[in-house]
Amino acid sequence: MVYLDNAATTKQSKASIAEFLRVSKEAFANPSSIHEAGRLAEKELSRAREYILKHSIPNAKKVVFTGSATEANNIIIRGLLRDDTRLKIITSQIEHPSVLNVCDNIKSKKIIVDTVSVDKDGLLNLTELYEKIDENTALVSIQHVNSEVGAIQPLRKISDVIKEANARLEPLRRGKIRHTYFHSDCVQSFSKMDIEAELDFASVSAHKIGGPKGIGALIFGTGIKAVRPFIYGGGQEYGIRSGTENVPAISAFTEALKESRAFDSDAKKGDIKRYFLDKISGFKELVPILPFQASPYIQAVRFKGFKPEVIVHALEDKGVYVSTGSACSSKAKESHVLKALGYNDMDVVRFSFSNDTTKADIDDAVCAIKEVVNFLI
C-alpha cells in the first residue's frame, strides 16, 4: 500500500501509540483528583502542555486542549464573536470549512462576515485586508497552509497589516472592541515548517502529524479572558472547555510532535515533492498546481480530461491512496478553493506526503498513475 493522503490524516506512529498505552496504564486517573494517582495524571498533562507551549508559536502563553482543530476553530470564532454587539470577522475565500461554515452559522444583523480575495497562487490580498479592517473588526482568521493546494500564507506580513490597522483605529474604538485579534488554522504547518509570526490564537491537530485522532489544541498568544467558555462544566482547560482531559491522547500528541520535530525527513526538506514532480513531468495529461510555491507536503495535480473520482478509485485498485481534495469537505459539490484560484475542480487530485513517505513510494505511485492514464486514454 502507498498512502499519499496525509493531508487528510496520517498513520499514528509507533512511538505515539506506545506513549498512549503507557499513560493509559500508568496515569489513568482523573487529573483533577487530589489523590496521588490524580496528581500523577496531572503531572503527565502538565508535561505535555508545557512541551506543546514551547514548540508551537513564538509568543505562546497558554494551551487549551480540544477534541480537534475543527473544535478549536469553533471555540475561537464563537468565543470572540458575541451577538450582543456589532462585530466583524474577516477571513479568506479559501479557508477550511471549519472556519467558513461556522462563520456562515453565526452571521447575523450584528455579526458581519467579510472575506478577502486571493490571487492565482492562493495568496491573500494584503491591501484589501487592510482596507476591510474597521473599528468593529474583532477577528481576522487566515489559514497558514491550505489543505487542498498547499498555498502558504505570509503570516508575518498579515500580522504586520493587522498591527498597522489596530494602530490606525485605536482612536476610533470606544466600544467593546479595543483590538483586532489574529487567528490562524495551522493544522497543515504545525511541526512541518516554522510558524514565525506572533499570533493571538492558533489551531493545531494531532492526527495530521502522526498522533491520535480526537485531540487538538488552541494555542493562546494573548490573554485567555478575551474568549468566553465553549463547554461549561468543571472548569477544566482554563474554563474554556470543561470536561475530563484525555491525558493518554494528549501525551501521545506530544510524542508525535517530538518525533515530527526531530525527523529531518525528505518530505520536510522538499525532496519527496521535487522527486514526485520530476517523475510526473513526462505526462502531458498531468498539470501540477502551485508546484513550487506550495507546502512541500501537498501537491494538487490536474488530470486533464479525467474525472478525479475515477482517478482516485483506479489508483485505489492498484494500492495507491490519494484524494480529490479536502477530506473534511469531500461531500461538497465543488471546491471553493480551486474556484477561487480559477481552476476547474472537476479534474484535480491531491497527493499529500508525510515524513514517512519514501522515494520508493513515489516510484510505485507513478507506476500506477502511468498504468491508469494509459488505460483511460
Among all residues, which ones are annotated catalytic? 328
* CA–CA dist 228, 164 (Å, integer): 26
* CA–CA dist 297, 299 (Å, integer): 7
* CA–CA dist 132, 115 (Å, integer): 9
Q: Taking Cα atoms as reference points, which of 164, 183, 147 lies closest to residue 329?
A: 147
Q: What are phi and psi of 134, to 5 degrees?
A: -125, -175
* CA–CA dist 246, 244 (Å, integer): 7
All three cell numbers of 154, joined, read: 505570509
* CA–CA dist 97, 138 (Å, integer): 20
Q: Integer distance in angstroms from the first to the last C-alpha of the chain?
A: 25
Query: Please, are residues 151 and 298 in contact by the beta-carbon 8 Å criterion?
Result: no
Stated as kind and residue range, the H or E segment containing 12 is none
Stated as kind and residue range, the H or E segment containing 218 is strand 216-220
- Per-position DSSP letters for 31-90, written without gaps between them: TT--SHHHHHHHHHHHHHHHHHHHTS-TT--EEEEES-HHHHHHHHHHHH--TTS-EEEE
The half-sphere exposure of 373 on its side-chain side, counting CA atoms within 13 A, is 17
All three cell numbers of 5, joined, read: 493522503
